[in-house]
Amino acid sequence: MSHDTRPSHPDTVPILREAARRLDQPTRRLFLRSALGLGTLTLLSGCDIVDGTSAERALGRMSDFNDRVQAWLFNPGRLAREYSESDITRPFPFNSFYTPNSPHMAPVIDPATYRLNVTGLVSDTSDWTLDRLYALPRVTQITRHICIEGWSAVGQWSGVRFSDFLQRIGADLRARYVTFRCDDQYTTSIDMPSALHPQTILAFWFDGSVLPRRHGFPMKLRIPTKLGFKNPKHIGEIEVGNDYTGGYWETYGYNWFSGL
Partner 1 sequence: MNLATNVSPHGLPTLRQDKPLIHPLIVRATHWLNALATVVMIMSGWGIHNAYPTLPFRFPEIVTLGSGLAGALQWHFAAMWLLAINGAVYLSYGALSGRFRRKLLPIYPSDIIRDVRAALTGQLAHDDLSVYNAAQRLLYASVIGAGILIVISGIAIWKPVQFRILTTLLGDFDAARLIHFASMTAIVLFLAVHVVMALLVPSSLRSMILGR
Contact residues toward partner 1 (CB under 8 A) are: 31, 34-37, 39-40, 43, 58-60, 62-63, 66, 73-75, 78-81, 144, 146-152, 224-225, 249, 252-255, 259-260
In sequence order, what are the beta bridge partners of 249? none
Residue 140 C-beta: closest distance to partner 1, Å? 19
Residue 198 C-beta: closest distance to partner 1, Å? 12
Residue 185 C-beta: closest distance to partner 1, Å? 19
Q: Which is nearer to partner 1, 114 or 256 (CB)?
A: 256
**Alpha-carbon torsion angle 50, 56, 58, 60, nearest 10:** 170
Residue 249 C-beta: closest distance to partner 1, Å? 8
Q: Which is nearer to partner 1, 88 or 148 (CB)?
A: 148
Q: Which is nearer to partner 1, 6 or 144 (CB)?
A: 144
Residue 74 C-beta: closest distance to partner 1, Å? 7
Q: Which is nearer to partner 1, 23 or 133 (CB)?
A: 23
Q: Which is nearer to partner 1, 73 or 135 (CB)?
A: 73
Residue 51 C-beta: closest distance to partner 1, Å? 15
Q: Which is nearer to partner 1, 136 or 260 (CB)?
A: 260
Q: What is the DSSP string of the chain?
A: ---TTS---TTHHHHHHHHHHHHH---SS---GGGGTHHHHHHHHSS--S-HHHHHHHHHHHHHHHHHHHHHH--TTPPPP---GGG--SSPPP--SSSS--GGGSPP--TTT--BEEEESBS----B-HHHHHTS--EEEEEEEE-TTS-EEEEEEEEEEHHHHHHHTTB-TT-SEEEEEETTS-EEEEEHHHHTSTT-EEEEEETTEEPPGGGTTT-EEE-TTB-GGGS-SSEEEEEEESS----HHHHTT--SS-B-
Number of C-beta neighbours around residue 184 at 10 A: 25
Q: Which is nearer to partner 1, 71 or 108 (CB)?
A: 71
Residue 170 C-beta: closest distance to partner 1, Å? 29
Q: Which is nearer to partner 1, 180 or 229 (CB)?
A: 229
Residue 102 C-beta: closest distance to partner 1, Å? 17
Q: How far apart are CA 208 and CA 155, in angstroms?
A: 10
Number of C-beta neighbours around residue 196 at 10 A: 17
